[in-house]
Amino acid sequence: MTETAGGTEASGRPERPIAADWLALRRAADTSARDGAAWLLSELTERLAEPVTVFDIGAGTGANQAYLTSRLGVSSRWVLLDHDAELLHTASHGSAERVLGGIGELRGLVAAASGPRLVTCSALLDLLSTDELDELASVLSRLGVPGLFSLTVDGSLILEPRNRLDEAVSAAFNAHQARAGRPGPAAAAYLAQRCAQAGLVVRQAETPWLLGPGAEALIERLLTERADAAVEQHPGLAADAQQWLAERLNSLRDRSLRVQVGHVDLLVKPPQ
């Protein structure tokens, strides 16, 4: 899958299943990127009491739980939400409650929990519709809980050396991600604005993937599925996208290719 693998239908269910092997392939890049925004986590944990109940939306195979559990600094109970039962079944990091669902189920779950609460997700916001992002902002503001939302793509891709087709492929890919009522690469900015309008405090950090030698498998998957999505969006781009991919993979094989994929992390908090 691409870095924003798949999308969501109106029901909130993924229109394409997100492959477990893709989630495993990206984990090292995700960890490195998130470590660059450690100050967001520090700001969150300054006010985080225990035991905290953490609601992880789109939990997948549990990578977000694996990353955060030891870094929260407090004892935690996890509730993992995902529309993919198979992915939830593989989420085996520690004990957690597994709930089949997503944003539609979040409000009831958070409202029913007692004590400190936290809502979080990783690499999910750009898959949500504006309605789902509005609901997420509403849950945070009305229930007075903080949110930590990591690794939302922002639409930027920098490839070195440059290629004349980079811009066309990226534009088509970003349009593909913004279909069916989704802000896509603008999702983090959209949620930040909605939360700020609701009186919440919003902090933001850039968390790009910086990929080079050693990340060849991830880069090849990323570029291949980016080209596929671009052609799906604009079929007339097929020949150019094929040429672009071939040239990019040649650069990857001769180890001259460097890749930066833009991501944004958000911390949302109730006012002091």
Residue 253 lies in a domain: no
In-domain check, residue 103: yes
- The answer to whether the beta carbons of residues 236 and 166 sit under 8 Å apart is no
Q: How many domains does the chain have?
A: 1
Give me the domain span that covers residue 140: 20-156+181-210+263-269
Model pTM score: 0.91
Residue 1, domain member (yes or no): no
- The one-digit pLDDT tens for each residue of the chain (272 residues) are 345 444 334 334 444 457 778 888 999 999 999 999 999 999 999 989 989 999 999 998 899 999 999 999 999 999 999 998 888 887 755 678 999 999 999 999 999 999 999 999 999 999 999 999 999 999 999 999 999 999 999 999 999 999 999 999 999 999 999 998 899 999 999 999 999 999 999 999 999 999 999 999 999 999 999 999 999 999 999 999 999 999 999 999 999 999 999 999 999 999 97
Residue 161 within a domain: no
User: CA end-to-end span of the chain, whole Å?
Assistant: 40
All residues at 6 or more sequence positions from 54 whose CB lies less than 8 Å from its CB, including other chains: 65, 68, 72, 76, 77, 78, 79, 117, 118, 119, 120
For residue 29, the domain's CATH number is 3.40.50.150
Say if 257 falls within a structural domain: no
The label of the residue with tokens 């980079």 reads 166
Examine residue 60 and state whether it is found in any structural domain, yes or no: yes
Residue 175 maps to a domain: no
Q: Is residue 129 part of a domain?
A: yes
